[in-house]
Amino acid sequence: MAIRLVAFDLDGTLIRGRNSLAVIAGALHRPEWEERMEILEMRGESPEEMKQRVAPWTELSRGELSRELAHARLAPGVDEAFQLLHERHLTTAIVSISWDFMVEWFAERFGAAHWAAVGFNRDGTVTPFWPEDKGPWLERLMATLHVSRHEVAAVGDSPRDASLFRAAGHAFYVGTEDPEGLDGVRHYPDGNIAVVARAILSL
């Protein structure tokens, strides 16, 4: 059964080196943001505590923040990969525990039709999106698109993508280390996304 939908993680998968949050923090000379706005640092916090963490962002527009993402280092073969997939009419999505304005920027950059991320809302509140939410989000998208599990591939780089891998019928791991505890994933340690795309298209 041919693949119809491919879901990608963002940080460490489509971009390498500094993650999307660190890219913005570095470009705006606010290195403290890298830890302060890291969603995994907010587990267990109240909505008000989360709101206080991201308060500095309310002084800038989403455009002012996201335009710094042009400094991110893309994974090898990423543009070619999206071109190959879209030429074959596959639907693409980005599923990330980064912030929505960052993920939306990359979705537009790569032409991905769907994306999911942590919500930074207009009133300064936060809508969390945790690693374990990736799989259920993908399953909802699959239902909306009437795509079966065996028509879906997922691409990630860490154990935090485990729920995404479980939701998809085919999983591709581009982390450099062995994917311990992630059964059934195909490991591409060189991390070239075009190579992964060709493997997906050959399924």
Residues 79 and 154 in one domain: yes
Structure tokens belonging to residue 111: 């032409």
Structural domain of 55 = 21-69
User: Total domain count for the chain?
Assistant: 2
Domain CATH number, residue 133: 3.40.50.1000
Q: Provide the pLDDT for residue 102.
A: 97
Q: Provide the pLDDT for residue 138.
A: 98
**Rounded to an integer, what distance in angstroms lies between the CA atom of residue 152 and that of residue 158?**
19
Q: Provide the pLDDT for residue 177.
A: 84
Q: Provide the pLDDT for residue 129.
A: 97
Each residue's pLDDT tens digit, 117-169: 999 999 999 999 999 999 999 999 999 999 999 999 999 999 999 999 999 99
Residues 63 and 103 in one domain: no
* Last residue within a domain, chosen from 69, 92, 108: 69
Per-residue pLDDT of the chain (203 residues; tens, 9 = 90+): 699 999 999 999 999 999 999 999 999 999 999 999 999 999 999 999 999 999 999 999 999 999 999 999 999 999 999 999 999 999 999 999 999 999 999 999 999 999 999 999 999 999 999 999 999 999 999 999 999 999 999 999 999 999 999 999 999 999 988 887 788 899 999 899 999 999 999 99
Q: How far is CA 125 from CA 28, 47, 99, 101, in A?
A: 22, 7, 12, 14
Q: Provide the pLDDT for residue 108.
A: 97
**Single-letter amino acid code for the residue at 12:** G
Residues 9 and 97 in one domain: yes
Residues 118 and 172 in one domain: yes
Residues 65 and 85 in one domain: no
126 - beta bridge partners?
Answer: 120
Residues 161 and 194 in one domain: yes
Residues 28 and 58 in one domain: yes
Residues 10 and 35 in one domain: no
Q: Provide the pLDDT for residue 181.
A: 76
Residues 183 and 122 in one domain: yes
Residues 33 and 11 in one domain: no
Residues 176 and 94 in one domain: yes
Residues 32 and 54 in one domain: yes
Residues present in the chain in total? 203
